[in-house]
A and B are shown apart, each in its own frame.
Chain A
Amino acid sequence: MNVETRELKHVTVVKVTGRVDSATAPELERVLSELINSDRNQLVLDLEGAEYMSSAGLRVLVSMLKAAKKGGGDLRLAQLSSRVAEVFDLAGLTPVFGIHTDIVEAVGSF
């Protein structure tokens, strides 16, 4: 897994590529926690390159969604692959997150 962050004016885009599993989810949590703790809590997660996400990844995203909302922000998702979208559906999480088809739309939603 690789995580890259890009700071826009009001929003931070976090691009995740590769596998988000129990081995890599803690690193994603560390990056997102640092952003939220430094008041960058309007977040868009670009998942176009995330080929796989397990329940460990879902737990991190749910926890970070709660943290972002607590700080008055939000964690919104963009460009989910059909596989990752299926995992969100299976966990009943699709209605819980703001999910967008592209980055521009996700950033503009803030």
Chain B
Amino acid sequence: MGATQRLTVPGKFEHLAQIAEFVTTASRAAGLNDDDVFHVEMAVDEACSNIIEHAYAELTGDIDLTCYVPEMGRLDIVIRDHGQSFNPDEVPVPRLQEGAGLDAVQEGGLGLYFMRKLMDEVRFEFSPENGNTLYMVKRKQA
């Protein structure tokens, strides 16, 4: 327990599969169940896709992932980039509950929506010195 694992990859779509493998392995090592592992894979994939698509739209840079297991059954993930920051509060929330499925998906914001649905904690920090940091926590479901 307490082991920290890190992965740094260029912010390019072709590294998404490698990122997925990294967080899947870390999730299993944290004692999460199969559903949890899938949810972590999905949330991290959406987070990194957003970084590549938006933060690194006009810049190039790395994505730095750190996985930490503070106790068995809990995985903390920190994702850092040095691209364009954004305001999470300005990302539209998909209107999925209103039966607007088709249009809501096209309007975007689905990735952030998935992250918040799938993880127990999702928190962003933006700093000129340290870049953009996303903290996510997943706890083992009963």
Contacts and interface: CB of A to CB of B under 8 A. Distances in A.
Interface of A: 19, 21-23, 52, 54-56, 58-59, 62-63, 65-66, 83, 86-87, 90-93, 95-96
A90 B114 contact: yes
Given A52-B41, A54-B42, A62 B117 contact: no
- Interface-centre pick from B99, B101, B111, B118 (highest chain A CB count, 10 A): B101
Interface in B21-54: 38, 41-42, 45-46, 49, 52-53
A93 B95 CA distance: 12
Contacts of A52: 20, 41-42, 45
A54 B102 CA distance: 15
Contact of B17 (A23, A58, A59): A23
A54 B45 contact: yes
Contact of B16 (A21, A87, A91, A93): A21
B79 to A, nearest CB: 15
Contacts of A23: 13-14, 16-17
Place the interface of chain B in its size category.
20 to 34
A79 to B, nearest CB: 18
A-B CB proximity, top 9 nearest: A92-B96, A23-B13, A55-B110, A22-B49, A92-B101, A96-B101, A62-B105, A22-B13, A55-B111
Interface of B: 13-14, 16-17, 20, 38, 41-42, 45-46, 49, 52-53, 94, 96-97, 99, 101-102, 104-106, 110-111, 114, 117-118
A86 B20 CA distance: 18
- Interface-centre pick from A23, A55, A62, A66 (highest chain B CB count, 10 A): A55
B105 A58 contact: yes
Contacts of B114: 55, 90-91
Contact of B53 (A22, A62, A66, A90): A22
Contacts of A62: 102, 105-106
A49 to B, nearest CB: 15
